[in-house]
Amino acid sequence: MPLDIFFEVCTFHYLSSKDSLPIFYVNSKITSKLKPLDLIQLSRVSKQFRNIFMSKSSRYVWIEARKNVHGMPDPPDCLPEPKYASVVFERNCFVSAQSKAVQIQPKLVAAIALEKERKVWAERGVRIGLRRQEVRTLYQLYIEDIEDDEVLLPDSVEFTYLPEVTALVSRDDGLIEVTQERFMDVVAEAMTTFNISERAKLANMLREQAPRFTDYDSSDEDDGTISRTPMEIACDLEVLNRATSILKCYRCSLSSPTSYFPFTKITRHNLKFHPDSPYKAISREKAVTGTASAVLKVLGLPSSTRYSDISRKIVCLCGKPDFQQPAEFSELILHITRENSWYIQALRSP
C-alpha cells in the first residue's frame, strides 16, 4: 500500500501541547483496505508505529486485514494475529530466533493446515446441506405418485441420508444442484436398498415377538429354535405376509381400528396420517397377535396362513353389525381382542 495514501487518510491527535509525539489512531477507512503484510511493514516503519500496531487495541485491524485475504483461516488460539501474519506471509519464521522455534514451527504449520481444512469442510457441509434440501423437495413430490402399497417409505430427512443419496449430494463437494434428472438417477436404487434393509428389520421384529403354542403342530412354523444365522432370519421375509403379523401404529390413537393394519398397508397408512414421519413407530400388540393366532387355530389353519388369504373372508358370530359381513382381518381381530378383554374384566369384577 502506498504510504502517501495512508498518511492522507489517517488522523493525528496530540495528547497535549507538552507531548512531542503524536498519538496515532488508526483510521478504519484505511484498515479496511489493508492486508496482513501491509501491517507488518507498517509496524516496522518506526518505534511509534510498532507501538500502535502491536497494541492490543489494534487487534481488530489485524483481524480485518486477515479477512481481506480470501480463504485465510482464523489463527490457532496459541498465536497472536501479528505473529500469525508473519508466519504466513514472511519467509522467515517470526519466532525462528527463539530457542523453541524448532518445536513451534511444525506445530504451527500443522495447526494452520488443520484450520484451513476445517474451513473447507465447513463450507462443503453447508453446500451439501443445501443439496439435501433440494433432494427433500424432490422426494416429497416423488412419493405422491407411489401406488405400490408394499413399498416402505423413509421419511424425507432419512431419505437424504441413504447411502445412494449421500453419494449424490456429496458429488463434486456439493457444488452441483440436484436436478430432477439427477434425483431420478438414484431414487430407485436408494428405495430398493432401503426396502431390503427395513423389511429384514421388520421381519426380525415380527419373529422375535411371534407367539408360541405348545399344543400346536408347528411343523410349518419356524419357531426360531432351529439354529439359523441372523442373516438367514433377516432374509426370510415371508413372516411379513402372515395373518398374525398385524402391526400397530403408535402415532395413532390406540383405540382406533385404523391404527392396526397388515404390512401391506404401512405405506398407505403413513401417507394418509403421517406423510412426513418415519414408519418406525410401528410394532405389534401381543394381545392382538395372540388373538390372530388363536383364530387361525380355531379355524384349523396353519399359523403361516397369509393375511391376504383370510382377510375379508370370515365373519364374527357375536352379532355386532360391523362384522356380520366378511371384514378386514386386522379390524376383525382387534374387535375380538377388545371383546375378549371386556369379558375377562367382567368375569373378574365382583
**Residues contributing to the site for Zn ion (CB under 5 A):** 249, 251-252, 273, 316, 318, 320, 323
For the CB of residue 320, give the shortest distance to Zn ion in the complex, in Å: 5
Nearer to Zn ion among residue 169 and residue 266 (C-beta): 266
Nearer to Zn ion among residue 6 and residue 273 (C-beta): 273
Residues 6+ apart with CB under 8 A from 47: none
Long-range contacts of 65-72 (CB under 8 A, 24+ apart): 65/31, 65/34, 65/35, 65/36, 65/38, 65/39, 66/36, 68/32, 68/33, 68/34, 68/35, 69/35, 69/36, 71/116, 71/119, 72/36
For the CB of residue 335, give the shortest distance to Zn ion in the complex, in Å: 5
Integer distance in angstroms from the first to the last C-alpha of the chain?
99
- For residues 230 and 113, what is the distance between their CA atoms, to the nearest angstrom? 46
Widest CA span of the chain, in angstroms?
Answer: 114
Nearer to Zn ion among residue 149 and residue 164 (C-beta): 149
Nearer to Zn ion among residue 186 and residue 333 (C-beta): 333
Using DSSP, state whether 209 is helix, strand or coil.
coil
For the CB of residue 338, give the shortest distance to Zn ion in the complex, in Å: 9
Nearer to Zn ion among residue 211 and residue 257 (C-beta): 257
For the CB of residue 207, give the shortest distance to Zn ion in the complex, in Å: 23
Nearer to Zn ion among residue 55 and residue 277 (C-beta): 277
Cβ proximity of 190 and 165 under 8 Å: yes
Nearer to Zn ion among residue 94 and residue 323 (C-beta): 323
All three cell numbers of 211: 407367539
Sign of the torsion angle spanned by Cα atoms 132, 133, 137, 143 = positive
- For residues 271 and 256, what is the distance between their CA atoms, to the nearest angstrom? 17
For the CB of residue 339, give the shortest distance to Zn ion in the complex, in Å: 6
Name the strand (E) or helix (H) holding 287.
helix 286-299
For the CB of residue 281, give the shortest distance to Zn ion in the complex, in Å: 7
For the CB of residue 279, give the shortest distance to Zn ion in the complex, in Å: 9
The burial of 143, by beta-carbon neighbours within 10 Å (0-12 exposed, 13-18 middle, 19 or more buried), is given as buried
